[in-house]
Structure 1
Amino acid sequence: MRKIAYLSNCFASISHTFMRREIAELRKLGVDISFYGIRPDIEKDIADDAVEDIFNRTFYLYFKKKEKILGWILDMIWSNVYFIFSSPIKYFSGFFSALLNEEKNIKDHLKLVYHFFVSARHAKRMKKQRIEHIHAHFINVSGTIAMYCSDLLGIPYSITAHSAGEADKKEMIGLRRKIKNSKFMVVISDYLKAYLIKSVYPCRDKTYIVRCGLDTSSYQPSKGHKYLFDKNAVRLLAVGRFVEKKGFEYLVRAAKLLKDSDISFRIDFLGGGPLLKKCRRISEKFGVSDVISFKGSKSPKEVKEYYENADIVIVPSVTAATGEMEGIPVVIMEALLMGVPVISTK
């Protein structure tokens, strides 16, 4: 049985349901998967047994709160010393590759060198587990750590990219080398494949499209679902993280247009994120806080219940100021399988 290390910022986040579904299917196929995260992240109020299991089995690059930072620093130093003596050629080859990285901005340049040093902590554990392949979800720091672990261990790595437009984000560094040195790339759409080839690196021959999928048996229209106009107030639903590319700010603003048109409606927002407070303030400023409810993060089971009671799911995705945009929002597929109409931006 082949041993694979799955590497991501975190696995327990409610927004990473798609990743956990992928892992579950691979396990059914008999793949032996070990979990490597960057920072511990779990929303205890929505965690279920499957999430808790993955969270507890994940080895994190950075220390958990209960660990002392001195122990983490010593472990990181020891991991580098270990590879200096056990694999000096691989270690110094990777080190000089990191030192001579492509970034011209001094801060970004040094960040990549730093990532090389801290990646030794993951690589040492991977060697102990006899990992044969590393797969990173997201092309950000997860992809960077996967690349450096690959350098230290001499094993291949691959990356799944999820969003187009990421090349211009300030935290996206070392992209060309990450893609160039990977054994293969996975993307979720033809558009994203074309974007990477055109904007980052010519990787057509080793980039594969694996579309986001759902277990259709888990998403069935409710027999008791009441459809649009069966009652006075139209029930609108928006699901996702409060980040710029989701466009939730514009839906809040649009609520004022509906209210001014004397349309009876309510909007439920499910999710958390950095722009949640801003959207709350906008709802109060525009006088629509009485028809908008911010419900916070919900478990997959709870989200299904909201689908069952919604008339329309709204997906107001936009291109962020950084150029980042959605891939293919899974919420669209979930809603349609539940028999709920979707209104989305193009």
Structure 2
Amino acid sequence: MINEVKKKKKLLVVTSTFPRWKNDTIPHFVFELSKRLTDEFDVYVLAPHYPGAKSFEILDNMKVYRFKYFLTKYQKLAGNTAILPTLQKNKWFYFQVPFFLIGEFLALYRLTKKIKPDIIHAHWIIPQGFVAALNKKITGVRYIVTSWGGDMFVFKKQGFLTNLLKKVYSFILNNSKKSTSVNMVFLDEMKRVANDKDKVVYIPNGIDTELFNPKKKDLLIKEKYKIEDSFLLFVGRLSEKKGVRYLIEAMSEVVKKSPKVKLMIIGKGELESELKDLTKKLKMENSIIFTGAIPNKELPRYYATADIFIAPSITTKDGDREGFPTVFLEAMACGNSIITTRIDGIENIIQDGINGYIVNQKSSKELARELIELIQNRKSIKSGKDTFILIKNNYDWSIIKNRYKEILI
């Protein structure tokens, strides 16, 4: 007798950050997690449309639907960068916000009726968690919601809207099957808002340790960019909360001690022109390399070849901040020494003086001091096999996906 094939449950992922096309350079964490859930679920994805993107396609066994919310050529509120930095850069995009919310809600409702998912995974409390909560009230389909970053703190900086937004957050969390946070500090904040504290759980971000590891070292990179001394690296979106300007300022002090040291900045974003102008102003063009965005699959070569990875993140005036930066895990898995700033939850990843170094936010002087010490004390530059094993055993996607499966089923 032939055994019947077990029918997979349907998972509908709704997110504002998802690759717009193959080899897109935007952050891949939602994509990577959702892709790995396809062995257990029939995965559908709802994401914003973007000029040049397909309205429907299949990516790695995921059926991807992209909803339109404005005139096509002006649909840039989400997709190229996160929503909050886009609004900060150009206030005109606030005009698109209500259209985005309505468009996303209607698209989610229609897709829910069409595919009849067993559960929805909303990424970010606002706006995806909100539309998932409204959708549940109408269709009855359960959802979980994940906070990836400062979305849990933004409501505190909105003046007279703070109390209203707090009620909205409470509505979202209290109606979810489960709520997850990638950061322990964010988790505590979510528990203050939620009625049922047990429904809020911590699940960190993940990486692919088969892709990110020290074996990917490629000395041709140093040859190409003429790097003769220590190779410093930053990877990330060029937005305010990344704090790159403080790293550039620190480099002006570092080169006084080590003139041949070079910093490579990989990424793009709304502050790219401003940061390049600062580099020219400080006469650092020969010491700082801007590569633009690089495909995710190519990044391991750069990490594994670099000596020191720096993440000078800050909390912005409006409360935007890092959640659980994947770049920390990627850099540590590839053997880099880490220098970062005191951000919420950093102690869950970095132990100051043991597997990395932590300095105060917005302090170019402290960044420069730690960089100079690391460069001069070359024995401490590379982290070892123990760090890689730690990352593999705790943060590999094979571990993280199973934790999500437990709450999605």
1:166 alignment partner in structure 2: 154
After superposing on structure 2, the runs of 4+ consecutive aligned residues of structure 1 that deviate more than 6 Å are 41-44, 64-67, 110-114
- C-alpha contact (below 8 Å) 1:5/1:33 kept by paired residues: yes
Determine which of 209, 231, 240 is the counterpart of 1:235.
Answer: 231
Deviation of the 1:251 alpha carbon: 0.6
* SS of the residue 1:14 aligns to: coil
Deviation of the 1:123 alpha carbon: 0.8
State the distance in 2 between where 1:42 and 1:337 align.
34
State the distance in 2 between where 1:168 and 1:266 align.
39
Q: Aligned partner of 1:58: which letter?
A: V
1:316 alignment partner in structure 2: 312
Q: 1:4 to 1:343 in 2, by over 3 A?
A: same
- C-alpha contact (below 8 Å) 1:169/1:324 kept by paired residues: no
Q: Aligned partner of 1:144: which letter?
A: F
1:53 aligns with 2:59: yes
**CA deviation digits over 1:163-195, x for unaligned, max 9?**
243333659953232222222101113222112
State the distance in 2 between where 1:320 and 1:203 align.
30
State the distance in 2 between where 1:156 and 1:234 align.
51
State the distance in 1 between where 2:103 and 2:35 align.
32
Deviation of the 1:330 alpha carbon: 1.2
State the distance in 2 between where 1:124 and 1:178 align.
20
- C-alpha contact (below 8 Å) 2:218/2:301 kept by paired residues: no
Q: 1:262 to 1:215 in 2, by over 3 A?
A: closer
State the distance in 2 between where 1:209 and 1:154 align.
25
2:188 alignment partner in structure 1: 194
1:206 aligns with 2:199: yes
1:184 aligns with 2:178: yes
State the distance in 2 between where 1:153 and 1:275 align.
41
Q: Aligned partner of 1:185: which letter?
A: S
**CA deviation digits over 1:261-315, x for unaligned, max 9?**
4542111111111111211111111111221111111112221111132111111
Question: Once the two structures are aligned, what percentage of the paired residues are identical?
Answer: 24
TM-score (norm 1): 0.75
2:120 alignment partner in structure 1: 134
**CA deviation digits over 1:99-144, x for unaligned, max 9?**
xxxxxxxxx9x97798357512321222111112111111222222
1:150 alignment partner in structure 2: 136
Matches for 1:90-109 after TM superposition, within 5 Å: none
* SS of the residue 2:68 aligns to: coil
Report how many aligned residue pairs link the two structures: 295
- C-alpha contact (below 8 Å) 2:38/2:61 kept by paired residues: no
Q: Aligned partner of 1:19: which letter?
A: V
1:330 alignment partner in structure 2: 326
State the distance in 2 between where 1:306 and 1:215 align.
16
Q: 1:334 to 1:41 in 2, by over 3 A?
A: farther
Deviation of the 1:21 alpha carbon: 1.7
Consecutive unaligned residues of structure 2, counting only runs of 5 or more, are 1-7, 76-93, 220-226, 343-409
Q: Aligned partner of 1:208: which letter?
A: V
TM-score (norm 2): 0.64
- C-alpha contact (below 8 Å) 1:37/1:61 kept by paired residues: yes
- C-alpha contact (below 8 Å) 2:69/2:104 kept by paired residues: no
Q: 1:117 to 1:290 in 2, by over 3 A?
A: closer
Consecutive unaligned residues of structure 1, counting only runs of 5 or more, are 45-50, 70-107
1:77 alignment partner in structure 2: none
* SS of the residue 1:334 aligns to: helix
State the distance in 1 between where 2:15 and 2:334 align.
29
Q: Aligned partner of 1:40: which letter?
A: Y
Determine which of 6, 9, 18 is the counterpart of 1:11.
Answer: 18
- C-alpha contact (below 8 Å) 1:252/1:283 kept by paired residues: yes
- C-alpha contact (below 8 Å) 1:196/1:202 kept by paired residues: no
State the distance in 2 between where 1:17 and 1:117 align.
23
Q: Aligned partner of 1:16: which letter?
A: P
Q: Aligned partner of 1:207: which letter?
A: V
- C-alpha contact (below 8 Å) 1:11/1:54 kept by paired residues: no
Q: Give the alignment's Cα RMSD to 1 decimal.
A: 3.4
1:40 aligns with 2:26: no
State the distance in 2 between where 1:187 and 1:142 align.
15
Q: Aligned partner of 1:195: which letter?
A: E
